[in-house]
Chain A
Amino acid sequence: MKIKKFILPLLSAGALVAAMTAFAPAVFADGYERGERGDSEERGESEGRNGRNGGRIIPPADNAAYKQECSSCHFLYQPGLLPARSWEAVMGATGKHFGEDLALDEATVKELLAYLTANGADKQTNRRSTRIAASIDSSSAPTRITEVPYMVKEHRKIKKETFSRPSIKTFSNCGACHTKGAEGNFEEDFVKIPKN
């Protein structure tokens, strides 16, 4: 059942990838070059919050209100993990946030929405965010990062039972396995799946 749902987005992602091949080498070469110089340290100031680096790091969340309001219950998801239209959907339903009433006032919702949409995956140039954005059908606006086709694909080898280990609990708990996830670094070298 799930598989059917993915075929369409995958096909369109495929088309996009094909269309991108023309300029892809430039982007990737840049990413590797920076990677060798240690892009995680250099990225921040010089590249700006939109991460115009073609690198592999998703710019970490750097908005005080966002940290304050959106990290008590879970991992502080980087804005670059969902496209702007998804953030609009998330912030349009803060009274019914995955079964929680976030009890946010209007001004706060407005501020967070502006921050999230300005830095969404479709506004980024790092490789992770562009792949996330490219994997989502333009007619859909998933509110779950864990349902984004690219995310599902990257985690397809992980069993359900692994996610439900006590120290992990759910796929949504990115920081449990990605030891540098808070820095927007989801690279393989820094993945450590807890044993229990």
Chain B
Amino acid sequence: MKKGIRSFIAASVFAAASASMAVSAAEPNEQVRSLVDSYKKSSGAQSFSAEEGRKFFNSKRTHSVKKEERSCTTCHTTDPRQPGKTIVGKVIEPLAPSVNKERFTDPEKIEKWFKRNCTWVLERECTPREKGDYITYMMSL
């Protein structure tokens, strides 16, 4: 009986521990790893920085025509683990793979949204280094 309880407790502790592992930092899949590698090649960077990615994500810029302040956080909020909202009012599921495992799994989708969103915020495409830092930041959350 006691033994039963003990192993039950052990099992629950183990389950809790693996559950908490599942919600901490994520590992990119094969395709995304090679996407990040291609960013390394074209930028010449040895490695990418989650801290630089965090700064990039939070930086603000005034649009040259609209004269309004824009940032990645305009739609994604300052916490990528939280849902965001587009300017047309549609909810955006969280970006951090630790809470949304569909994120950063499909290179084509990633590249498409970089193109759209970087153009909207920065009026140019993002550089390979910015993209590498950004993904590294998202993976670290």
Contact = CB atoms under 8 A, between A and B. Distances in A.
Given A103-B112, A103-B115, A74 B120 contact: no
A41 interface: no
Nearest to B115: A103
Nearest to A173: B89
Interface residues of A, number: 17
B115 A75 contact: no
Nearest to B90: A74
Nearest to B65: A99
Interface residues of B, number: 13
Interface in B93-141: 112, 115-116, 119-120
Nearest to A71: B90
Interface of B: 66, 85-90, 92, 112, 115-116, 119-120
26 contacts: A71-B90, A72-B86, A72-B90, A72-B92, A73-B86, A73-B90, A74-B86, A74-B89, A75-B90, A99-B66, A100-B116, A100-B120, A101-B115, A101-B116, A101-B119, A102-B116, A103-B112, A103-B115, A167-B89, A168-B89, A169-B87, A170-B88, A170-B89, A172-B88, A173-B88, A176-B89
Interface of A: 71-75, 99-103, 167-170, 172-173, 176
Given A73-B86, A168-B89, A170-B88, 7 more contacts: A72-B90, A72-B92, A74-B90, A99-B66, A100-B120, A101-B120, A172-B88
